Amino acid sequence: MADCTIRIKKNGSAMVSGSFVVEDVDGNPYTIEGEAFLCRCGASQTKPFCDGSHKAAGFESAPHVGDTA
């Protein structure tokens, strides 16, 4: 079984749950236990984490992972 699961939320963030590490641009690790919501829209002021800005930005995602249209 996987150590973490990534769930893409409709018109929103990517919810990552489990035990995982997020590294910043300098390679500094941040261990996360539980859940984190990662920005997909680019509007968050707390990147890489979601701050809910996708709502005001009107972000719309593809219907399913892998869809390009």
Residue 16 clears pLDDT 60, i.e. is over it? yes
Report the distance separating Cα 13 and Cα 56, nearest Å.
13
Q: Of 2.60.40, 3.40.5, 3.40.50, 1.10.3470, which CATH number belongs to 4-57? A: 3.40.5
Cα distances (angstroms) measured from residue 40 to each of 2, 26, 27, 43, 60? 22, 21, 21, 8, 10
- Return the number of other C-beta atoms located less than 10 Å from residue 54's C-beta: 21
Strands 14-23 and 29-38: antiparallel
Q: What was the pLDDT predicted at 68?
A: 63
| Percentage above 90 pLDDT, the chain | 83
Beta strands in the chain (DSSP E): 4-8, 14-23, 29-38
